[in-house]
Amino acid sequence: MFSHAASAQLRDDFADGNFTQNPTWAGTANFFTVNTQGQLQSNGPAVTGTRLQLAAPCRASTGTTWEFWANLRLATSASNLADVWLLASGPDLGSAATSGYFVRLGGTADNLTLFRKDSAKTAVAFITGKTGTLSSSTNNLVRVRITRSTASRWTLERDLAGGRNFVADGAPATDAAYQHSAAAGVALLYSSANGKNFYFDDFNVVDATPPLLLRATPLDARRVEVVFNEAVDPATGALAAGYQLRGGAVPVAAEILANNPAVVRLTFGADLPAANVLEARQVADLFGNAAPGALAASFVGLPVAPGFGDLIISEILADETPVVGLPESEFVEIYNRSATKTLSLRGVRLGKTGATAQAIFPDTARLLPGQYAVVCGSTRAAQFASFGKAYGLTNFPALSNGGDQLVLRGAGGRVLFEVTYSDAWYRDARKQAGGWSLEMVDPANLCAGADNWTPG
């Protein structure tokens, strides 16, 4: 017997005389019994190669300790062993499709071994206990404790007297392949003489660790996917008020994914800023564990299509000769005026008003908040490498020295920015003669016309 532990995922000492209630174990139930000592005992047919199994619902995953008592009153071998499943993707522990982790008692090495099982694949050992610890032919008594940290660091311990004076068995190891579970249980394989020789008791699975916020990933301009290390409680995990961008917005909705309850999708009422820290407060796991403070994860908002005035032309070099400190190439400079939005330039077009030919930005082009980029002809980008970001575009418009009308349009054709420049804006005959660019003085004042431009 043992005392009740808080947040127990699965607890059964069979003191109630059954395994069908509180909790409910299912499987080859006709071949198990609870004996007069209050232990779960196999009661299978005397047929070599028989496999028996029982599983109970258990959603323990990380930050969890599993403990159980067992006695295999038989000589263990490759055909006489017990697999105690800690995490299983489903209740059918014998199915090839089942994935998860189990500890094997017995086998050819007569020891304890912790395995990972991938769907449709052979299980692979990742902690191997000392050989010969279960070498008796009639009495292999052991209490086992397995611990998995929130960082998926596993330890295997045993007490061969059946008490709780645990010693480490095998070297600790890290495996994070499976973060969620549907069941825990036992799966047995035996030869004809051993159908009644497996005994278990004191199953205790405890998660007393709050969930961890692993990452936050933007799905689009207003939605963020939040991933925890374990399933979260619907009452707290789906509460929008429990989340906030640090110093900013609270989502208008929070939804836990039905097929993965460790994932929450948040919807915000406005486009996400470029740089963010998401905080989650009082989000508990399924067993009431919640971190005392805020959990946090940083992420960068997805690029958004520019709106009117977000993307502007901030510099123009129409007459590149003579060379005066700039590459000998026509160019314009573009600027992201937004303080919060990363702009996707996918499909944005640069051209002359009324012209058929347009220079189109590639799908991967983007500008961070407040970032500038040079735009030039497709063969000229290398000349501007030392100036920072540069895009060399096919169909870059030929810039008239005396003046022209340039327009930036969104992927759908909407005008984003338009400027009609003139060489009269130089107001300096020497600079008007070539080699000097025109620069916008104040990007916040788009309506100032010629007064807002000066030689660069």
Average pLDDT per consecutive 10 residues, the chain (456 residues; last block may be shorter): 48 97 97 99 98 96 95 99 98 98 98 98 98 98 97 98 98 95 97 99 95 95 94 96 95 96 96 92 94 95 92 96 92 94 95 93 94 96 92 97 97 95 95 95 91 92
Q: Quote the Cα angle for 439-443-448, to 5°.
A: 85
Residue 2 lies in a domain: no
- CA atoms of 134 and 359, how far apart (whole Å): 75
pLDDT attached to residue 168: 99
Amino acid at 170: G
Return all residues near 121 (Cβ < 8 A) that are at least 6 apart. Answer: none
Please tell me whether residues 408 and 443 are part of one structural domain. yes
Report the phi/psi class of residue 197: left, alpha or beta, with left for phi > 0 and alpha for psi in -120 to 50: alpha
Please tell me whether residues 187 and 71 are part of one structural domain. yes
Please tell me whether residues 48 and 178 are part of one structural domain. yes
pLDDT attached to residue 6: 38
Residue with tokens 């403070």: 293
Identify the CATH number of the domain in which residue 144 sits: 2.60.120.200
pLDDT attached to residue 9: 80
Domain span including residue 72: 8-207
The domain total for the chain is 3
- CA atoms of 255 and 242, how far apart (whole Å): 12
pLDDT attached to residue 354: 87
Return all residues near 456 (Cβ < 8 A) that are at least 6 apart. Answer: 315, 317, 436, 437, 438, 439
Identify the CATH number of the domain in which residue 385 sits: 2.60.40.1260
| 306 exposure class (CB count in 10 Å sphere: 0-12, 13-18, 19+) | buried
Please tell me whether residues 387 and 444 are part of one structural domain. yes
pLDDT attached to residue 418: 96
Residue 367 lies in a domain: yes
The radius of gyration of the chain's CA atoms, rounded to the nearest angstrom, is 34
Please tell me whether residues 68 and 187 are part of one structural domain. yes
Please tell me whether residues 344 and 421 are part of one structural domain. yes
Please tell me whether residues 272 and 346 are part of one structural domain. no
DSSP assignment letter at 220: S
pTM over 0.75: no
DSSP assignment letter at 390: E
Residue 1 lies in a domain: no
End position of a domain, from candidates 207, 237, 256: 207
| 261 exposure class (CB count in 10 Å sphere: 0-12, 13-18, 19+) | buried
- CA atoms of 10 and 18, how far apart (whole Å): 15
φ and ψ at 234, to 5 degrees?
-60, -35
End position of a domain, from candidates 300, 332, 361: 300
> How is residue 330 written in tokens?
């026509």
